[in-house]
Amino acid sequence: MSSGDRILITGMQFYGHHGVHDLEQKNGQVFTVDVEMYLDLRPAGETDRLDRTVDYSKVYREVRKIVEGQTYRLIEAVAETIARRLLQAFPRIEQVVVRVHKPRAPLPGTFADVAVEVRRTRE
């Protein structure tokens, strides 16, 4: 990876139907997604041109399609799908970190959040 530059989109909230339990898939719940995209931002910074970076409105739409449009049993699979799709759709991204939060996971106790994080690098 050549650059430590990154674009972050944090706290994206979507209603999805992911979970191991039938009730989770039937009723759904809110999931929060954070994305860190590592890429060289110098060309965009020097030219002030959108075509020299990643359009984060398009990233948002891609993430939303995955979280709201498909059903997964595991949030690990949601995160993996998001990471793979962003690397495919946006060739400027060198590496991506995706966090999927499931704050209402069905656990028998008090907790603030459950999340998974995957880091994927362009091959």
| pLDDT tens per residue across all 123 residues of the chain | 457 999 999 999 999 999 999 988 999 999 999 999 999 999 999 999 999 999 999 999 999 999 999 999 999 999 999 999 999 999 999 999 999 999 988 888 989 899 999 999 998
User: Does any domain span residue 44?
Assistant: yes
Active site residue 58: no
What pLDDT score does 105 carry?
87
User: Does any domain span residue 97?
Assistant: yes
Q: What is the domain-level CATH number for residue 63? A: 3.30.1130.10
User: Does any domain span residue 35?
Assistant: yes
What pLDDT score does 120 carry?
98
Catalytic residue among 26, 58, 65, 102, which? 102
What pLDDT score does 1 carry?
47
- In angstroms, what CA-CA distances link 110 with 103, 107, 113? 11, 8, 9
What pLDDT score does 62 carry?
98
Please state, in angstroms and rounded to a whole number, the distance separating the CA atoms of residues 78 and 70.
9
User: Does any domain span residue 19?
Assistant: yes
| Domain span including residue 70 | 6-121
Please state, in angstroms and rounded to a whole number, the distance separating the CA atoms of residues 22 and 14.
19
The Cβ-side half-sphere exposure at 29, using a 13 Å CA radius, reads 19
Q: Characterise 50 by phi-psi region: left (phi > 0), alpha (psi -120 to 50), beta (else).
A: alpha
Please tell me the total count of domains within the chain. Answer: 1
